[in-house]
Amino acid sequence: MRALRPAACAAAALALTASLTGCGARVAGDGDGKTARNTAVTLENCGKKLTFDKAPERVVTNDVGITEIMFALGLEDRMAGYVMPDDKGDLDHVPWKGAYKKTRWLSKQAITKETAVDARADLVFAGWGYGFGENGITPASLKKLGIDAYVLTESCRNGQGSARGVMPPLDALYTDLTRLGKLFGVEDRARKLIADFKGRVADVRKKAPQGDARPSVFLYDSGQDKPFTAGRYAAPDDIIAKAGGRSITHDLADSWTTVGWETVVERDPEVIVINDYGDTSAEQKKQFLLHYKPLANVSAIKHRRIITLDYADLVESPRNPSAIERLGTYLRP
Map out the domains of the chain as residue ranges: 25-197, 209-331
Task: Quote the mean pLDDT of the chain.
Answer: 90
More confident residue, 159 or 156: 156
**Whole-prediction pTM value?**
0.88
Determine which helix (DSSP H) or strand (DSSP E) holds 95, and give its type and residue range: none
At residue 39, the pLDDT reads 83
As separate numbers, helices (DSSP H) first and strands (DSSP E) second, the chain gives 14, 14
In this structure, are residues 232 and 165 in contact, taking their beta carbons and an 8 Å threshold?
yes
DSSP codes of every residue in 106-128:
EESS---HHHHHHTT-SEEEEEE
- Does residue 1 surpass a pLDDT of 80? no
Question: Do 25-197 and 209-331 fold alike per CATH?
Answer: yes
Residue-wise burial string across 235-267, b where 16 or more C-beta atoms lie within 10 A, e elsewhere: bbbbbbbbbbbbbbbeebebbbbebebeebeeb
Beta bridge partners of 43: 50
Beta bridge partners of 105: 82
- Does residue 149 surpass a pLDDT of 70? yes
**pLDDT interval class at 88 (50, 70, 90):** confident
- Does residue 118 surpass a pLDDT of 90? yes
**pLDDT interval class at 92 (50, 70, 90):** confident
**CB neighbours of 140 closer than 8 A, spacing ≥ 6?**
none
- Does residue 16 surpass a pLDDT of 70? no
**pLDDT interval class at 159 (50, 70, 90):** confident
198-239 tens-digit pLDDT: 999 999 999 999 999 999 999 999 999 999 999 999 999 999
Sequence letter at residue 141: S
The CATH number of 25-197, from 3.30.430.20, 3.40.50.1980, 3.30.70.20, 1.20.81.30, is 3.40.50.1980
CA distances (Å), origin 203, targets 198, 320, 325: 9, 14, 9
At residue 115, the pLDDT reads 97
**pLDDT interval class at 36 (50, 70, 90):** low
In terms of Cβ atoms closer than 10 Å to its own Cβ (0-12, 13-18, 19+), residue 108 is exposed
Is the domain spanning 209-331 CATH 3.40.50.1980? The answer is yes
273-319 tens-digit pLDDT: 999 999 999 999 999 999 999 999 999 999 999 999 999 999 999 99
More confident residue, 159 or 303: 303
At residue 37, the pLDDT reads 62
Lowest-pLDDT choice from 12-16, 163-167, 244-248: 12-16
- Does residue 27 surpass a pLDDT of 70? no
